[in-house]
Each structure stands twice: as C-alpha cells, then as structure tokens.
C-alpha cells in the first residue's frame, strides 16, 4: 500500500507488485534477529528463486547486503542510478534514498534484476 511505512522487504515486495504482478510466494514471518537465529540464507535464496542474477548495478537492480562477513544476508534495496540506493530500515522508519557509498558496497552480497523488467 502506498503512503505507509515499510521495511526493506516490504519495499521490494511493493515494487514487485507494481512492475511484475502478483508475488510468487508469501514472505515468512520474521523478527529483527531472524537471519542470525536461523543461520540460513533465507533472503538470498528467495532472491535467487525469483530475480535474475547479474553482476552489474544499474537503476532498478535489487541489491542484497550482509551486515557482516560470514552472516546471512538480511537487507536489500533498489539501485536508483547515479550511485544511489533506495531502501527502508527500522531506524529510519520510512523509505530513504542514500549514496551507495564504499561501506554499502563492501556489504553487497548479490545483485539481481526484476524478471522481464530491468535491462
């Protein structure tokens, strides 16, 4: 729903519905520590099932991040072009656009495109 706050997964799910159509699967329930508690690459595995892997960041690409090396990926956003990132997180309480700076790039775990949308 437009005009309401969301987290990073909600942002990407909403964009999916707008540009691709109905979501291919239901998102599981999760808590702030879900990735650490499970120790599984749940987010990355879902991205691999539904998005198109790529090595190039371009406007509209889905960027998946790890907060630290050797832990499951648990954050994602959308490249805005011009070296910027659109994402959402709890402490911001809303969708924000930031510079895709060196610290963000160091945390990058994978890059994907929306199927049939991003060229």
Q: State the average pLDDT for the chain.
A: 85
Most confident region among 6-10, 22-26, 111-115 by mean pLDDT: 111-115
- Would residue 44 count as lying in a domain? yes
How much of the chain, in percent, has pLDDT values that exceed 70? 82
- Would residue 60 count as lying in a domain? yes
- Would residue 98 count as lying in a domain? yes
Question: Considering its fold, how many domains does the chain have in total?
Answer: 1
Residues 6+ apart with CB under 8 A from 119: 58
Residue 109 domain boundaries: 8-19+39-113
- Would residue 90 count as lying in a domain? yes
- Would residue 32 count as lying in a domain? no
């Amino acid at each position: 729903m437009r005009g309401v706050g969301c987290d990073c997964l909600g942002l990407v799910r909403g964009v999916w519905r707008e540009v691709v159509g109905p979501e291919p699967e239901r998102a599981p329930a999760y808590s702030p520590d879900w990735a650490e508690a499970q120790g599984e690459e749940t987010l990355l595995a879902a991205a691999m099932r539904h998005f198109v892997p790529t090595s190039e960041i371009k406007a509209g690409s889905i960027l998946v991040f790890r907060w630290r090396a050797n832990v499951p990926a648990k954050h994602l956003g959308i490249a805005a072009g011009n070296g910027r990132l659109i994402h959402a997180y709890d402490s911001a309480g809303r969708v924000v656009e930031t510079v895709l700076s060196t610290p963000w790039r160091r945390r990058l775990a994978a890059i994907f495109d929306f199927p049939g949308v991003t060229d």
